């Protein structure tokens, strides 16, 4: 399988990475090189094989459904580029 320029533009948008039209052909070449590399997997017989969900046989541990942390607004916001009144600041999302 290989991708065309329109697909590269769409993937970049899905990944929320801005790309210029000038960058697209180069990215297309690299992505297609990787896709060609993984192409051989299509020939492996995986009939009846379960996809791996956990690499070690383990049960997901459960804990009490109680609050264990919180009241740390200062710490949560300490590294934010823009904050106001204890909130993260973002550009307008809804008019």
Partner 1 sequence: MTDLTSLTLADARDQLKSRAISSVELTRAHLAAIERARGLNAFVAVTVDKALAMAEASDARLAKGEGGALEGLPIGIKDLYATEGVHTQACSHILDGFRPEYESTVTANLWRDGAVMLGKLNMDEFAMGSSNETSYYGPVASPWLPPNWSADQARAALGDKGKRGLLAPGGSSGGSSSAVAAHLCLAATASDTGGSIRQPAAFTGIVGIKPTYGRCSRWGMVAFASSLDQAGPLARTVRDAAIMLRSMAGPDAKDSTCSTEPVPDYEAAVGRSVKGLTIGVPKEYRLDGMNPEIEALWAKGAEWLRAAGAKVVDVSLPNTRHALPAYYIVAPAEASSNLARYDGVRYGLREPASEIVDLYEKTRARGFGAEVRRRLMIGTYVLSAGYYDAYYVRAQKIRTLIKRDFEIAFANGVDAILTPATPSAAFAIGDKSSADPVEMYLNDVFTVTVNMAGLPGIVTPAGLSAEGLPLGLQLIGRPFDEETLFAIGAALEQAAGRTKLPAPWWA
What does the DSSP assignment read for 51-71? PPS-SS--PPP---SS--S--
The contact mask relative to partner 1 for 58-77 (x = CB under 8 A, - = no) is x-xx-x--------x--x--
If one asks whether residue 82 binds partner 1 (CB under 8 A), the answer comes out as yes
Q: Which is nearer to partner 1, 54 or 71 (CB)?
A: 54
CB burial string 3-23: b at 16+ within 10 A, e below: eeeeebbeebeeeeeeeeeee
If one asks whether residue 44 binds partner 1 (CB under 8 A), the answer comes out as yes
Q: Binders of partner 1: how many residues, by CB under 8 A?
A: 53
**Distance in angstroms between the alpha carbons of the first and the last residue of the chain:** 41
DSSP symbol at 13:
H
Catalog residues that contact partner 1 under the rule CB under 8 A: 1, 3, 7-8, 11-19, 27, 29-31, 33-35, 37-42, 44, 46, 49-56, 58, 60-61, 63, 72, 75, 78-82, 88-93
């Amino acid at each position: 399988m290989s991708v065309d320029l329109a697909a590269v533009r769409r993937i970049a948008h899905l990944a929320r990475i801005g790309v210029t039209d000038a960058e697209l052909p180069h990215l297309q070449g690299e992505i297609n090189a990787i896709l060609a590399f993984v192409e051989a997997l299509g020939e492996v017989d995986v009939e009846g094989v379960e996809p791996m969900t956990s690499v070690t046989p383990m049960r997901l541990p459960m804990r009490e459904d109680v609050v264990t942390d919180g009241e740390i607004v200062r710490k949560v916001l300490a590294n934010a580029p823009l904050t106001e009144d204890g909130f993260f600041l973002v550009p307008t999302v809804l008019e």
